[in-house]
Amino acid sequence: MGRIICRIKRVNYLIRKVDVNNMCLAIPGLICEIVSKKRVMVDITGVRREADTSLLEEPLEVGDYVLVHTGFIISKLDPEQAKEDLKLWDEILSS
């Protein structure tokens, strides 16, 4: 048996406009403005959008990374934990 090679080809189907709206996604974004107690502006890859913070107990500040799902912030990135991740991967790399 030889080695299995795999190539991924992006096939462009003609997707109708209605498909553009994809719900089941949570997208990482950066808080760039606090509008009110329950509303903030989030920068998602350059696009600014208002998001609702009523599902989050933790306080938010400008510069926090968050996950946004259908207009609501569902989670805040834990920077300490992210640093731990990177450390763990460095260990894997060097072992």
Partner 1 sequence: MSEPTQKYRDKKIVDALIKKITQLTEEIGEKIRIMHVCGTHEHDLVKAGLRSLLPKEIDLIAGPGCPVCVSSARDVDEVLWVADNHNVIITTFGDMMRVPGSKESLYQAQGRGVDVRVVYSVSDALKLAEQTPDRDFLFFSVGFETTSCVTAAEVIRTKLPNFSIYSSHKLVPPAMELLVQRDDLEFQGFLAPGHVSTIIGAKPYGFIAEKYNFPVSIAGFEPVDILMGIYSLLKQIKEGTARVDNDYKRYVKYEGNVAALRTLEEAYQVSEARWRGLGVWPDTGHEISAKYSYIDAKKKYNIPELPSTDLQGGCICDEILIGKSKPHQCKLFKKACRPDHPIGACMVSHEGTCNVAATYEEIMWEE
Query: Which residues make up the interface to partner 1 (CB under 8 A)?
Result: 1-11, 13-16, 18-30, 43-46, 52, 54-57, 65, 67, 69-72, 74-79, 81-82, 84-86, 89, 92-93
- Separation CA 32–CA 66 (nearest Å): 11
What is the three-class DSSP state of 52? Answer: strand
Here the tokens at position 67 are 């996950």
Minimum gap (Å) between residue 95 Cβ and partner 1? 8
Those residues with Cβ within 8 angstroms of residue 54's Cβ, 6 or more apart along the chain or in another chain: 38, 72
Minimum gap (Å) between residue 69 Cβ and partner 1? 5
Minimum gap (Å) between residue 8 Cβ and partner 1? 5
